[in-house]
Amino acid sequence: MQSIDQQLATRLRVEREAVETFYRAFTDQNLDLVDSVLAPDWDDIPLAPGQEPGPQGIKTIIRSVAEAFPDVRITIHDMVQEPGKIGVRAEISGTHKGPLFGIAATGKQVSFRLHEFHTLMDGRVTTTWHMEDWFGLFLQLGQFPAQA
């Protein structure tokens, strides 16, 4: 039987690995990884325009990011954790080789910041609140999406 300290250490490790696997799904462009770490009713806040809720919706986002940045990489710089909650400061980088928000490929190497807060239960991510530095990305690309 594990002690309370061992149980806590195991929980923290499992939760950290779930969040790391979520980001690895983008870098590896492996959609199946999200099914192993996101709760079936995972809540992504805010949803991207046209994004379906749940794990299925993020698979569409992973595909579109991979199309825009075939060499996409998410680098985790910091993780702050307590049981059931993880805050992440990360960076998304890649070469803009496909359309993104109506912006044609520029061939430019870019990197932009990502900040997320995840809640977890039973080793799976249940909710993600996120904020990406889209403004910084568009400045690097030298253009902004057209207004709708």
The three-state (H, E, C) secondary structure of the chain, written as one string: CCCHHHHHHHHHHHHHHHHHHHHHHHHHCCCHHHHHHEEEEEEEECCCCCCCCHHHHHHHHHHHHHHHCCCCEEEEEEEEEECCEEEEEEEEEEECCCCECCECCCCCEEEEEEEEEEEEECCEEEEEEEEECHHHHHHHHCCCCCCC
Geometric angle at alpha carbon 23, from 19 and 24, rounded to 5°: 110
Residue 22 in tokens: 């979520």
Average pLDDT of the residues in 127-143: 97
Share of the chain above pLDDT 90, in %: 93
pLDDT in tens, 69-94: 999 999 999 999 999 999 999 999 99
What pLDDT was estimated at residue 146? 86
What is the C-alpha separation between 74 and 64, in angstroms, rounded? 15
pLDDT in tens, 81-132: 999 999 999 999 999 999 999 999 999 999 999 999 999 999 999 999 999 9
The verdict on domain 4-141 having CATH code 3.10.450.50 is yes
Please determine, for residue 17, whether its predicted confidence score (pLDDT) is greater than 60. yes
Please determine, for residue 24, whether its predicted confidence score (pLDDT) is greater than 60. yes
Residues near 73 by beta carbon (within 8 Å), at least 6 away in sequence: 27, 92, 93, 94
Q: Where are the domains of the chain?
A: 4-141
The model carries a pTM of 0.94
What pLDDT was estimated at residue 130? 97
